Structure formats: structure tokens, C-alpha cells
Amino acid sequence: MVTFAAPEEDSVVEALSEAVELVGTRERHPELAPGYFHRQVKRMYSWHNVAERTERVYVKIADACEPPLIERLRRYYGCGLVAGKLFCLVAAVDFLIGVVLAWLWPAERIEVARGFDYARYRREISGGGGQEQQAH
């Protein structure tokens, strides 16, 4: 399914040549057929599995602490001679915009969204709980 190569020109050319040669011998090697690869990938992944892994990533990100501004600026500064300074400028402007917006609209004045009733949502989409909207 995959041919690996070192990140060097000769190795990439050699691996590509091997892959092209293998494609030409599909009749003798049924494991090289696209349908075979598709079935392998289908067994390796499921939407449920992908959703669980994605959720774990989001939870990990949500639980991570945001480093202080000075630490973020230090990290950005190390991203290159010009790019690092540009990243620092953008981060500083972004921070200042956040401060101004927090001053104009304090968090206490922002309406909190209601909790999402997932059970009701599932009933609604399955057709068992809501009234049909009539067209006017």
C-alpha cells in the first residue's frame, strides 16, 4: 500500500520506480488492486473510531492551559528572523484588541447560551417528537 523513501532524491526516485513497477504487475498480485486497499482501509477505520479520536483531541485542547502572553511572544519570536517579529506583532495586536473588546463588552454582560438538549435533538431528527412547520 505504501512505499517508503528517505528524503533524498535518489531514494525517492528508486521508491517511485518500485511503485510504478508494482502497479504494472497487478494481475499477478491481487493485493495491489485498488479494491483490496479500499477494504483494508475500511477495516482499519470507522466513523465511530474517527469521531472518538477527534473528540479526544478537542478535549485535550480545551483542557490545555493557555501560556501567558510573554511566553507566547517568546515562542513566536523564535520562528525566524522576519516571521518571528511579524508573529509577535500580530499576537500583540490581537491581545490589545481582546483587551479593548473585554473593556467594551465585559463577560458579565454577555448572555450565556442555554444547554443543548441532545436527547430532544435525537428525537426531533428521528421524526418522533416535533410538529411539522407549515409553509406560509
Is 130:122 a contact under the CB 8 Å cutoff? no
DSSP-H helix ranges across the chain:
9-23, 34-44, 47-63, 69-77, 83-104, 118-125
Residue type, 5: A
Residue pLDDT, tens place only, 32-69? 777 887 888 888 888 888 899 999 999 999 899 989 99
Cβ–Cβ under 8 Å, residues 14 and 3 = no
Say which DSSP state 27 is in.
Answer: T
Please check whether residue 84 is in contact with residue 102, taking contact to mean a CB–CB distance below 8 angstroms: no
Furthest-apart CA atoms within the chain: distance in Å: 71
Cα gap 94→96, rounded to integer Å: 5
pTM of the model: 0.45
Report the residue count for the chain: 136
Spatial contact of 40 and 33, defined as CB atoms under 8 Å apart: no
Read off the pLDDT of residues 83-99 as tens digits, 9 standing for 90 and up: 999 999 999 999 999 99
Give the whole-number percent of the chain exceeding pLDDT 70.
Answer: 92
C-alpha cell at 47: 466513523
**Grid cell of 125 as nine digits:** 431528527
